Chains A and B, each alone.
Chain A
Amino acid sequence: SQTIHQWPATLVQPVGSPLSLECTVEGTSNPNLYWYRQAAGRGLQLLFYSVGIGQISSEVPQNLSASRPQDRQFILSSKKLLLSDSGFYLCASQGQGTSSYNSPLHFGNGTRLTVT
């Protein structure tokens, strides 16, 4: 089965500083990868998804960007953090070539980001 590794688990960064959150996947190849954010009192919001190396789709305009330099590596970045970037960030993976009704998402443990 798939295992999703995310780090760091918690992060406190000042406004204007850069950000890099990393996610790696084990147990599958060519997965679809996703970055979600959960803000307080809100549901999981999809930020980015990727169906392959170098292929990134953005769901919402924001201060963040994503990259997929390797098949099982997904990175969430920002050049200058805003206070509104605070939240809980989750990386998820799904087997390539399967849609939601065939394969559930596998999630990492998340990163709690606090921008001060």
Chain B
Amino acid sequence: AQSVSQHNHHVILSEAASLELGCNYSYGGTVNLFWYVQYPGQHLQLLLKYFSGDPLVKGIKGFEAEFIKSKFSFNLRKPSVQWSDTAEYFCAVNLRNFGNEKLTFGTGTRLTIIP
């Protein structure tokens, strides 16, 4: 069965620290990959996505993620975090050419940035 794993449940960092949140998936075919973010008091929203091409994708607010096919991973990174990055981050994976009814989410990583 398809699955998405986010091994870091809660990450606490100081401002200006570098961030990497892990995401691994278990799928048997070509995939589309997403990171969604939920800031406190706000709705879940798309941070970045990978469909094809350059495996290093840039998202909003300085975030990026790298698709490493051989490792079945799509880790989220940011070189220097800010207090405003405090949020919950969800990785999601879908099989190519399928609709969102086949989208699988990870359990989420809560990120807390200490000023």
Interface residues on A, range: 20 to 34
Q: Determine if A94 and B90 form an interchain contact, defined as CB atoms under 8 angstroms apart.
A: no
- Say how far A75's CB is from chain B's closest CB, in angstroms: 18
Which chain B positions have C-beta within 8 A of A66? Answer: none
In the complex, number of A-B residue pairs with CB atoms less than 8 Å apart: 70
Q: Determine if A99 and B44 form an interchain contact, defined as CB atoms under 8 angstroms apart.
A: no
Q: Which residues of chain B from 12 to 46 have a CB within 8 Å of any chain A CB?
A: 32, 34, 36, 42-46
Residues of A within 8 A of B (CB): 4, 32, 34, 36, 38, 41-46, 49, 57, 59, 90, 92, 94, 99-101, 104-110
Flag whether B96 is at the interface (Cβ < 8 A). Answer: yes
A43-B106, A43-B108, A109-B43 given as contacts; is B90 within 8 A of A99 (CB)?
A: no
Q: Determine if A100 and B44 form an interchain contact, defined as CB atoms under 8 angstroms apart.
A: no
Flag whether B4 is at the interface (Cβ < 8 A). Answer: yes
- Return the chain B residue nearest A4 by Cβ: B43
A109–B92 alpha-carbon span in the complex (Å): 19
Q: Determine if A100 and B105 form an interchain contact, defined as CB atoms under 8 angstroms apart.
A: no
Residues 2-13 of B, flagged 1 when their CB comes within 8 A of A and 0 if not, give 001010010000
